[in-house]
Amino acid sequence: MQSCQTSSSPFSPSSLPALLSRLQGESERRLSRTKLLRYVPYGKQADFHEAGATHRERLLMAANQCGKTYSGAAEAAFHLTGRYPDWWFGRRWDRHVRAWAGSETWDGTRDGVQRLLVGEPKDEAQWGTGLIPGDDLVGWGRRQGVPDALDNVIVNHVSGGKSVLGFKAYEQGRTKWQSETLDFIWFDEEPPQDIYFEGLTRTNATEGIVWAELGNFTTGKRNYRK
């Protein structure tokens, strides 16, 4: 007659708090690296995104702290990855893209555009916790002369290709916004007129798009119509 053998659990009651803590930490880590999947625009943001399907040039104007830059970063991340949600009715690419994004100064680009797309600039351990999903952020180049700033990122696209986003600053001047052929440009805050039109020209060959977000009180000083 065979004797019955019992197996004991590999986890003792005393080890459960530590196990639960590790599981919670892993859950939080995964959530932090998939923010794009939970982006849901409010009405004005949704209208702005949808307009990209039929307009090459767009402007989102709203008061400060209303999510202007966040919606711009989300759109950039959708295009870079191709991970468009079911509710998306804006412009789409079924291939990898090349693009630029920038703000007034390198510090502004780093602390706004880069932070929202990649994660906290001053903590490299958090790179991959921005709106570009962590598993899709496969490479980057550093910007020389600007602490914690990136020059570009390489992003996996669902098509199998790799998108490239370059970071820029208006303070570089117009000549640094030349030469490239791009699918989209994201202007975070109002660019000088010469840089705006230089950027728009970069998208002519691809019939690409440009967009900007401005505060209610920052515009009206420049005429962007030729």
Known catalytic residues are: 189
- Measured between alpha carbons, how far is 43 from 166 in angstroms, rounded to an integer? 29
Q: Where are the beta strands (DSSP E) in 67-206?
A: 98-103, 137-142, 150-156, 162-169, 184-188
Structure tokens at 204: 């002519």
User: Which residues, 6+ apart, have CB-to-CB distance to 39 below 8 Å?
Assistant: 74, 85, 131
User: Which residues, 6+ apart, have CB-to-CB distance to 148 below 8 Å?
Assistant: 110, 121, 122
- Measured between alpha carbons, how far is 71 from 5 in angstroms, rounded to an integer? 60
